[in-house]
Amino acid sequence: MSTYGYVWVSSADQNEDRQLIAMSELKIPSERIFTDKQSGKDFDRPQYKALLKRLKPGDLLSYTA
């Protein structure tokens, strides 16, 4: 079982640092944190899709809002 993190902000001028700090506090390794900066209109996001390909049964996904 592995733990992954997903960080998302809806525009390039938003800062994801607060979310990355939260992931660090959860002890999620940086190589298992996926980050997207784009509109929230749908889930057609490159890193989100890459994350889904890595997840296996039993893995844990953490995200912040």
pLDDT tens, position by position, 5-63: 999 988 777 888 999 999 999 999 999 999 998 877 778 889 999 999 999 999 999 98
The predicted pLDDT at position 25 comes to 94
Domain boundaries, position 12: 3-63
Read off the pTM: 0.86
Which ranges of 1-65 does DSSP label H, i.e. alpha helix? Answer: 17-25, 46-54
The CATH number assigned to the domain holding 24 equals 3.40.50.1390
CA–CA gap between residue 31 and residue 41 (Å, rounded): 26
The predicted pLDDT at position 65 comes to 65
CA-CA-CA-CA torsion sign (58, 55, 19, 26): positive
The predicted pLDDT at position 39 comes to 74
CA–CA gap between residue 54 and residue 8 (Å, rounded): 17
Number of domains in the chain: 1
The predicted pLDDT at position 22 comes to 93
The predicted pLDDT at position 13 comes to 77
Q: How far is CA 13 from the centre of its chain?
A: 18
Q: Which letter does DSSP use for residue 12 in this model?
A: T
